[in-house]
Amino acid sequence: MSEPVPPIRVILSNVAGSTSLACWIVLLLPQLIEQWRTKSADGISIGFLLTWAAGDVANLIGAIWAGLLPEVILLAVWYCFSDSLLIASYFYYKHRDALINKHKHDHEEGIHHHHHHHHHHQQQHSQDEDPTQPLLNRRNSAQRRSSLAEVADESANSVFVRIVFPVLFVIVAGVVGFFFSDGEDQTIDDPSKETKLGPQILGYISAALYLGARIPQIIQNHRRRSVYGLSLLFFIFSTLGNVTYAAQIFIYRFDAKWLVLNLSWILGSLGTVFEDIIIFAQFYIYKNSKETAIEQS
């Protein structure tokens, strides 16, 4: 017989779990909004999306197989539904960009021959008649730098609205959600109960997929030298959700049997946190690389 878990640890564990749940519910929304805002899906890696979705499918099958609570299964369904929205958004913008580029190419091909000679003559005449052109270029360059500085200031002033406020809101929602629910009955399953091998295997598969999903994204960011089109808030929610999920497990119990039982979830959670740290570093390194990303796309 294992010793009973102190009530304070049960409460703190469930608060952490509720906060993690709030993060997972809204996790993909920032990236959906970012793709809608930029009208592009070039920032996100399709390898990342598909591998992540495969992990969520494995998680859903494991939840059903293990006969978990209905709300746990519904949450797994929500994950898969959110994945499908993000993947659909990706292919929609990719298809849209392909059509736009095709029409643009056809239009340019049609007018290229007609305007080539006229444009060349006009450009030569303009260079001969305008000795102030280098000065104008320098002035325009200075104006662009000034505009970029203004944008940077506005961006810094809006950090609270774009990042801090949503994070605080989700944390508060998770904590309040716990206290407004029947919190004392929301305990984690006892490790002494018999667990099926199949769901445990699916848990490890899901964890491996979650770990592998970040790799294509990290590689794509490195190749593009940019994180333009990626939502920083998406990765913040992911990190916060994983940290609080692992905290839920560690706070509840810390004996070897309990940790082994939850090892797949611990590896999946904390492993992705380390990968997210790499992506955060890329956000810092490539924070001024929007132009490079647009040129490459």
Q: What is the pLDDT of residues 153-167, one digit of tens each?
A: 555 557 778 899 999
| 57 domain-assigned | yes
Burial class (CB in 10 A: 0-12, 13-18, 19+), 94: middle
Residue 90 within any structural domain of the chain: yes
Distance (Å, whole) CA 17 – CA 178: 9
What the block records as the tokens of 269 is 């959670």
**Per the domain annotation, does 135 fall within a domain?**
no
Name the pLDDT band for 296 (thresholds 50, 70, 90): low
pLDDT range class, residue 149, cuts 50, 70, 90: very low
pLDDT at position 172: 94
Give domain status of residue 116, yes or no.
no
Q: What is the total count of domains within the chain?
A: 1
Range of the domain at 74: 8-98+158-296
What span, in angstroms and rounded, lies between the C-alpha atoms of 81 and 63? Answer: 16
What does the pLDDT look like over 59-110, one tens digit per residue? 999 989 988 778 888 989 999 999 999 999 999 999 998 888 776 666 666 6
Answer yes or no: is 144 within a domain.
no
198 domain-assigned: yes
* pLDDT score at 251: 93
The residues near 177 (Cβ < 8 Å, ≥ 6 apart) are 18, 21, 22
For the record, the structure tokens of 199 come out as: 């769901």
Give the tens place of pLDDT for each residue, 241-293. Answer: 999 999 999 999 888 888 888 888 888 889 999 999 999 999 999 987 765 55
236, 85 in Cβ contact below 8 A?
no
Q: What does the block give as tokens for 122?
A: 């006009």
Alpha-carbon distance of 10 to 232, in angstroms, equals: 32
Residue 150 lies in a domain: no
What is the full DSSP assignment across 46-76? HHHHHHHHHHHHHHHHHHHHTT--HHHHHHH
pLDDT tens per residue across span 102-126: 766 666 666 655 555 555 555 555 4
**Distance between CA atoms of residues 252 and 13, nearest Å:** 5
- HSE of 204 in the Cβ direction (CA atoms, 13 Å)? 7
Is position 223 within any domain? yes
Say what the pTM is: 0.77
